[in-house]
Amino acid sequence: MHHLLQRYRENNPEFSVLDLKSHFRGCRYASETIKLLLQKPDGILLAEIFEQIARAGMVHPVFEPSPTS
């Protein structure tokens, strides 16, 4: 578990075990939701969906700058 936390703490030093649990739970929710779709989204959109859902329950979310800033 320490190895997983270290990977995420490179970008967010406050990343916690609760954030890690939320991330993987979000990935599971995204995976189950995608299975229900009649037409699967393309790879880039799929990755964005997973990222957004995985961040939804995080205690210490990472706020990335928007592309326009």
Structural domain includes residue 24? yes
Q: Does the residue 60 lie in any domain?
A: no
pLDDT in tens, the chain (69 residues): 788 888 888 888 888 898 888 888 888 988 898 899 888 888 888 888 888 888 887 777 665 544 444
Q: Is residue 38 part of a domain?
A: yes
**Domain membership flag for residue 6:** yes
Structure confidence at residue 47 (pLDDT): 87
Confidence (pLDDT) at 59: 79
Considering the domain boundaries, does residue 28 fall inside one? yes
| Any domain includes 9 | yes
DSSP 40: P
User: Which residues, including other chains, have CB under 8 Å from residue 5's CB and lie 6 or more apart?
Assistant: 15, 16, 17, 20
Classify residue 51: in a domain, yes or no.
yes
- Domain membership of residue 12 (yes or no) is yes
Number of structural domains found in the chain: 1
Range of the domain at 11: 2-55
The pTM of the full predicted model, rounded to 2 decimals, is: 0.68
* In the block, residue with structure tokens 């037409």: 39
pLDDT confidence of residue 67 = 46
Please give the pLDDT value at position 44: 87
